Amino acid sequence: MENRIFGIVKDNVALGVAVVQNGRIEGFLNGNENCNYDVYIGQSRAMGIVSGASRGNLIVDYIPDWIEIHKGDKVFTSGLDGIFLENIPVGVVENVRENYGYLSVEVKPYASLGELSYVWIIDRETPQLNVLQDEKVIGAPKQSCA
């Protein structure tokens, strides 16, 4: 499990990423500079990368500037980076701006960072769900994520 990145999901929406280092799970929630993953935006499924936060919104960068993105477009995980499964909701576009040859968007996240009692960590290599509770990984009954 070392040197792998896992998606963190809370209430069926993307919350962040987790890595295992020195036998411990370390989580980086949406908006943290170490929390990066690929997303699709809108019906055109424009690709972008979650890369930070501003004023409580997520920043998605590196979107090709020839694709139309609109306020209100929904943002989902792409699944192409091997971190999350495809189509896990992330949030809704609040603002679009040009940024040196590509687009950046501010996304109002669906996930609430308040009161984290448990989260799901999704392991794509061994399809089962693990529950993180009180900083321990508790294996859930074997059930497929695919």
Q: What is the CATH number of the domain that holds 19?
A: 2.40.10.350
Query: Residues 68-91: pLDDT tens digits?
Result: 999 999 999 999 999 999 999 999
Rounded distance between C-alpha atoms, residue 119 and residue 145, angstroms: 15
81 located within any domain: yes
Residue 11: domain span:
5-139
- For residue 19, how many other CB atoms are within 10 A of its CB? 16
Q: Beta strand 24-29 with 136-139: parallel, antiparallel or unpaired?
A: unpaired
What pLDDT is stored for residue 85 in this prediction?
Answer: 94
On whether residue 144 sits in a domain, the answer given is no
Q: Does the pLDDT value for residue 25 go beyond 80?
A: yes
pLDDT mean over 105-132 = 69
Does residue 89 belong to any structural domain of this protein?
yes
d(CA 9, CA 12): 6
Question: What is the average per-residue pLDDT within 89-115?
Answer: 91
Number of independent structural domains in the chain = 1
Residue 111 within any structural domain of the chain: yes
Residue 146 maps to a domain? no
Question: Using alpha carbons only, what angle is made at residue 88 by residues 2 and 76, rounded to the nearest 5 degrees?
Answer: 110
**Domain contains 107:** yes
